[in-house]
Structure 1
Amino acid sequence: MTIPHFLLIPYPVLGHVNPLIHLSQILVKHGCNITFLNTEFSHKRLNNNTGSGSGLDNLKTSGIKFVTLPDGLSPEDDRSDQKKVVLSIKTNMPSMLPKLIHDVNALDVNNKITCLVVTLSMTWALKVGHNLGIKGALLWPASATSLAMCDFIPKLIHDGVIDSYGVPIRRQEIQLSPNMPMMDTENFPWRGHDKLHFDHLVQEMQTMRLGEWWLCNSTCNLEPAAFFISPRLLPIGPLMGSESNKSSFWEEDTTCLEWLDQQLPQSVVYVSFGSMAVMDPNQFNELALGLDLLDKPFIWVVRPSNDNKVSINEYPHEFHGSRGKIVGWAPQKKILNHPALACFMSHCGWNSTVEGVSGGIPFLCWPFAKDQHVNKSYVCDVWKIGLGLDKDENGIISKGEIRKKVEKLLLDEDIKARSLKLKESTMNNIGKFGQSTKNLEKFINWAK
């Protein structure tokens, strides 16, 4: 049997980079060879913010080789404009990838790249690999349910549920398959985007078929029905790489861990909305005042703006925040597994959702976009391990609502018990005889 050599290619946002890094670490442990391709810009940011002796340095010593290609944009270009990034990557990188593969293979002719693993928006690389006779797979960075929804787009158009722009013909609740939760057509993952984005997604779903496996950072117990949709879907989660090697575009503030050590068990509210969500200033103020009202210790992640200097939002004058700790970026998994934690106020991005479930932590759900609304319905309606925050008539989640829901959640012993039970059944998947462990072995054997 040959040792598989994987080339992993994430789209350059943290929600794609981190699950692929965790997958790399697991594959290395299984004796596989790993080459990891970042865009030059993304790689530089990751290197700058992991400090010496952590992050990418550790990953290099663990046997992961890093390579880069330019994304085609200039240093001054605004990379928070995802449309611009996707278009530039799709225009520039495909022609450069064959040479990069050739150069990597030339370094060790007995250990050539045998399989590509890409994330969404990088499926063009599967085409390149296909033309070179290299196997391919996809790691889907969101829930398997959202993948099933995207896979159903042609059927949804055919059945008159959405038009060719992805817009619902009328608002309704539908079920993709008998055992799946009801979906509000307003909450389809592509809602809020334009025709260009929708067409890109449809095209990605087509190109993805060149990947023989669609790997998911999920488990059979979390979304059982979703895995009956397609035989390509393979749950291999929760992806638990080593936390010290997690990559980030911002430096993690680890002082919050010492601060957590000084708090009472199950007393701290953790507030973080991931690496992409942007909050309107009025809502930001209301959240700040709501955290003050709680009169409970809290950790609040207020991400630096893209230039890494200042936060975009000003705190309201009345805010004192004396019970809390505000950080620019945090070691999330360590926080979610800390005995002092009481609950997680989250945007319900899939990576954060899986991390919260794996920590056994109750949720307060505050979705912003894409698949986050669907994830919220799993948390609140299917798993029943959290509560949603409701907007008022002005579309704002008020400070009173924040206080009311936190207090209600922390008194709910049933939610706490279900959270711990779900943690146990989810973590069993990556045990020695767990389903995700078996699936991963099946995938590695296929790659051989």
Structure 2
Amino acid sequence: MGIPHFLVIPYPVLGHVNPLVHLSQILAKHGCKISFLNTEFSHKRLNSAGLDYLKGSGIKFVTLPDGLDPEDDRSDQKKVVFSIKNNMPSMLPKLIKDVNALDVENNITCVVVTMSMAWALKVGNKLGLKGALLWPASATSLALCDCIPRLIHEGIIDSHGVPSKKQEIQLSQNMPLVDTQNFPWHGHDKLHFDHIVQEMQTIKLGEFWLCNTTYDLEPAAFSLSPRLLPIGPLMPNESSKISFWQEDLACLEWLDQQLPQSVVYVSFGSLAVMDPNQFKELALGLDFLNKPFLWVVRPCNDKMVKHAYPNEFHGRNGKIVEWAPQKKILSHPAIACFISHCGWNSTIEGVYSGVPFLCWPFAKDQLVNKSYICDVWEIGLGLVKDENGLISKEEIRMKVKQLLEDKGIKARSLKLKELTMKNIAKDGQSSKNLESFINWAK
């Protein structure tokens, strides 16, 4: 019998691509073969240094078109999702055939997808291939999506996903209360909600739902679904992390010159878009801190407003970069805290580094992640909007001060880091889970 050959297919955003890259590296280390399928557009954008490194570690890249024109706006996620769904499924069988023809001894045996690519599990299933899902967000948000039929049945939401009333519900005993306004699909239209419902049905073709988390971080989520398998934290080797933008490595030299635990790190991930007024207020807030700060301001694409810094912004204490090696930054001794959008990858990286959070969620699962950070793990504080719907510079200064003076938060952050890292040690729970997943694939 040949060795397991995985065809891995991420939805083309960094928050999906990178966790699947890390999983692929682990599988390759265990002697598995990996064919990594990107959309042509996404693949062209990836930085060549990361790609070259990965090719060297035995990961083969293949591509298919996403069905959109080169000039189409790919920041419109709905457009991308539906174009992929309409175009890629019919092309996948031929791609699988072509990959298999190049390696007759070791044909593809298993398809692993992230959310929004579940159609590929259907294609694989028809061809007699095993299937699994890598869920890039928290296990809790997957459990919430999995409970949609129950939530409709109990009258908590209607068939459009809209809450019947504003309330907090608890899915199971040990789970934090979830505000119905914070459901991962809240604020989206019926089309998006139906897409999630359909995806949840299709991903049942995957025998495992792998999650970049640990039992300790969200134990109750695992009691809700037997398919959930925590294999986290998936921590990248920094040279293999791939990105759509060039990382600014000079910021690490700048950090070396700062005092221990003195720098406020600010980053809102690869998708969140900030309102121009809020952007100005944040800039003034960072000046107002009178502390060194490192701020990641993603390069604008043409469809977005260029970032306008207010005239009175000096930025003397800080460094602003377009993109940065986040894992290296978070584990740097100069970092005091992390102002974050609470996307799951950033949350896991912050926990892994033992850094306190100042939570600034934008959408979807970020609101649920914030409640874990602030209410369950108690390793961060939330920011509160003023009457104009803005987080003011005064609020930013006050919360940073409060966070850095709170010795309990720092102590809990370090304790959680220790707990989390135990999972990926040789006999850790996540390591054992990964092993049983690989044995299943064999």
The TM-score normalised by the length of structure 1 is: 0.98
Which structure 2 residues correspond to residues 3-402 of structure 1 after superposition, within 5 A?
3-46=3-46, 50-51=47-48, 54-307=49-302, 312-402=306-396
The answer as to whether partners of 1:187 and 1:374 remain within 8 angstroms in 2 is: yes
Gaps of 5+ in 1: none
Q: C-alpha displacement at 1:240, in angstroms? A: 1.2
Give structure 1 regions of 4+ aligned residues with deviation exceeding 4 angstroms: none
Q: C-alpha displacement at 1:86, in angstroms? A: 0.6
The 2-side partners of 1:140 and 1:429 are apart by 18
The answer as to whether partners of 2:233 and 2:420 remain within 8 angstroms in 1 is: yes
Q: C-alpha displacement at 1:312, in angstroms? A: 2.1
After superposition, give the CA deviation of every residue in 1:280-303 in whole Å (9 maximum; x if it has no partner). Answer: 011001000000010000000000
The 1-side partners of 2:238 and 2:214 are apart by 20
The 2-side partners of 1:266 and 1:2 are apart by 51
**Corresponding pairs, count:** 442
The 1-side partners of 2:306 and 2:251 are apart by 21
What secondary structure is seen at the aligned counterpart in 1 of 2:423?
A: helix
Query: Which of 400, 403, 427 in structure 1 is aligned with 2:397?
Result: 403
Q: C-alpha displacement at 1:169, in angstroms? A: 0.2
Q: C-alpha displacement at 1:161, in angstroms? A: 0.2
Q: Which amino acid aligns with 1:410?
A: L
The 2-side partners of 1:325 and 1:412 are apart by 25
The answer as to whether partners of 1:303 and 1:311 remain within 8 angstroms in 2 is: no
The 2-side partners of 1:322 and 1:410 are apart by 21
Q: C-alpha displacement at 1:108, in angstroms? A: 1.1
What secondary structure is seen at the aligned counterpart in 1 of 2:342?
A: coil
The 2-side partners of 1:137 and 1:339 are apart by 38
Q: C-alpha displacement at 1:307, in angstroms? A: 4.7
The answer as to whether partners of 1:363 and 1:386 remain within 8 angstroms in 2 is: yes
The answer as to whether partners of 1:10 and 1:37 remain within 8 angstroms in 2 is: yes
The 1-side partners of 2:9 and 2:316 are apart by 43
The 1-side partners of 2:80 and 2:343 are apart by 21
What secondary structure is seen at the aligned counterpart in 1 of 2:11?
A: coil
The 2-side partners of 1:172 and 1:311 are apart by 36
What secondary structure is seen at the aligned counterpart in 2 of 1:6?
A: strand
The answer as to whether partners of 1:252 and 1:329 remain within 8 angstroms in 2 is: yes
Q: C-alpha displacement at 1:230, in angstroms? A: 1.1
Q: Which amino acid aligns with 2:26?
A: I
The 2-side partners of 1:166 and 1:307 are apart by 33
The 2-side partners of 1:335 and 1:110 are apart by 43
The 2-side partners of 1:419 and 1:329 are apart by 25
What secondary structure is seen at the aligned counterpart in 2 of 1:55?
A: helix
Q: Name the structure 1 match of 2:2.
A: 2
What secondary structure is seen at the aligned counterpart in 2 of 1:265?
A: coil
The answer as to whether partners of 2:68 and 2:83 remain within 8 angstroms in 1 is: yes
The answer as to whether partners of 1:250 and 1:329 remain within 8 angstroms in 2 is: yes
The answer as to whether partners of 2:232 and 2:430 remain within 8 angstroms in 1 is: yes
The answer as to whether partners of 2:22 and 2:236 remain within 8 angstroms in 1 is: yes
Q: C-alpha displacement at 1:8, in angstroms? A: 0.3
The 1-side partners of 2:59 and 2:19 are apart by 14
The 1-side partners of 2:314 and 2:327 are apart by 27
The answer as to whether partners of 2:2 and 2:105 remain within 8 angstroms in 1 is: no
Q: Which amino acid aligns with 1:33?
A: K
After superposition, give the CA deviation of every residue in 1:307-348 in whole Å (9 maximum; x if it has no partner). Answer: 59x972110000000000000001000000000000000000
Q: C-alpha displacement at 1:306, in angstroms? A: 2.2
Q: C-alpha displacement at 1:165, in angstroms? A: 0.9
What secondary structure is seen at the aligned counterpart in 2 of 1:406?
A: helix
Q: Give the superposed CA RMSD.
A: 1.0
Q: Which amino acid aligns with 2:321?
A: V
Q: Which amino acid aligns with 2:250?
A: T
The 1-side partners of 2:269 and 2:236 are apart by 18
The 2-side partners of 1:198 and 1:81 are apart by 16
Q: Name the structure 2 match of 1:436.
A: 430
The answer as to whether partners of 1:26 and 1:241 remain within 8 angstroms in 2 is: no
The 1-side partners of 2:32 and 2:256 are apart by 38
The answer as to whether partners of 1:304 and 1:311 remain within 8 angstroms in 2 is: no
The answer as to whether partners of 1:10 and 1:20 remain within 8 angstroms in 2 is: yes
The 2-side partners of 1:325 and 1:146 are apart by 34
The 1-side partners of 2:302 and 2:350 are apart by 29
The TM-score normalised by the length of structure 2 is: 0.99
Q: C-alpha displacement at 1:231, in angstroms? A: 1.1
Gaps of 5+ in 2: none
Q: Which amino acid aligns with 2:213?
A: S
The 1-side partners of 2:105 and 2:251 are apart by 47
The answer as to whether partners of 1:4 and 1:33 remain within 8 angstroms in 2 is: yes
